[in-house]
Amino acid sequence: MNIHIPHPRIGERSKIGPHLTDNEQVGLNGRIAMLITNMVSTMWCAYLFAIIALISLPAAIAGGTATLVSWLAQTFLQLVLLSVIMVGQKVAAGASDKQALQTFKDTEALLKIQDELHRLMKINNELTEEIHSLVKKTQK
């Protein structure tokens, strides 16, 4: 009987693991960008930006409607929404990582099942050939 050799990709996948968001930090620039992103993408930062923006609110009100609209669009919304959107992106990336990990585990299990089926089919084929040979011998 031939010895079953599992497909090399099964071993490769086990060593590599799933590709997650943390794997994207490349080099010094990537680490600095992630550090800044992690600092700015918090609700505490959004609250701080809201306070900073509110400091200039009295001057915007005194400047009239155009100044107030400008303050709202250019100061408050940009400062506060930047952090809020980044928090949302962080949550989405975390969910994406969980999904990637689950997909990796599912795929790994399916590869192992498929490898076992391949092994069993090989054994079955060998046994069928043996039976066929024996039947042929007895018919002669």
Q: What is the DSSP string of 18-65?
A: ---GGGG--HHHHHHHHHHHHHHSSHHHHHHHHHHHHHTHHHHHHT-H
More confident residue, 140 or 126: 126
pLDDT at 105 over 80: yes
Q: What is the pLDDT of residues 44-76, one digit of tens each?
A: 999 999 999 999 999 999 999 999 999 999 999
Mean pLDDT of the 135-139 span: 88
**Residues of the chain above pLDDT 90, percent:** 46
Instruction: Note the pTM of the prediction, 2 decimals.
Output: 0.60
